[in-house]
Amino acid sequence: MSLENTVRLDRDLPLDSKIDPRGSLEYQHVLQDRAPTPYEQLLSRETADFVVKLICLLEPRNQYIIRARFGLNGEERLTLDDISLRLGLCKERVRQLENESLRELHTVCCEEAAFEELMGAPPSPTAKLAAPRARHSSNGSTGTPPEKRRRATHLRIVKK
């Protein structure tokens, strides 16, 4: 490559510069903008706020487990072994608590989405994250035990 070509590659090009010989294609039509749109930024922020509110519904120990497992609040993700050592529990018990917490969060999300739909409110973008997927048993009830359902109905999330 000649010095002239190298210098030409080093300079900035306007986005409306023509790429093809016919002059019909411009850089702005080819280059992809990787920056999130304002809607994507808002949705991301709303989702993060929603997740924080959800996690606050859990017991403190379970909050810690979920935050540590998923690396929330800017912390590093921890393994079941790491968490079990910090809490003085066996690895299997930490796994059980994690799964129990995730099921509880899922139940609250599903009930929140169903409540919004029932009240005729337009579903929030974050409610779509956990669309109801409850399994129905032969008697028509969901797979969630009654005591969990009762508890979760009192855990309504207040949205701004």
User: Which of 112, 97, 98, 102 is CA-nearest to residue 155?
Assistant: 112
CATH number of the CATH domain containing 129: 1.10.10.10
What is residue 18's three-state secondary structure? strand
Q: How confident is the model at residue 87 (pLDDT cuts 50, 70, 90)?
A: very high
User: Which of 121, 120, 107, 122 is CA-nearest to residue 156?
Assistant: 107
Domain that holds residue 63: 37-153
If one counts the domains in the chain, the total is 1
Whether the pLDDT of residue 139 is over 50: the answer is: no
The answer to whether residue 6 sits within a structural domain is: no
The answer to whether residue 30 sits within a structural domain is: no
Whether the pLDDT of residue 5 is over 70: the answer is: no
Give the CA distances from residue 24 to residues 13, 33, 61, in Å, rounded to whole numbers and listed in that order. 16, 20, 61
The pLDDT of residue 41 is 87
Which pTM was predicted? 0.54
Ranking 11-15, 41-45, 47-51, 146-150 by mean pLDDT, the lowest is 146-150
The answer to whether residue 9 sits within a structural domain is: no
Percent of the chain with pLDDT over 90: 31
Residues paired with 142 in a beta bridge: 136
Alpha helices in the chain (DSSP H): 3-10, 27-30, 38-55, 60-70, 80-87, 91-118, 146-153
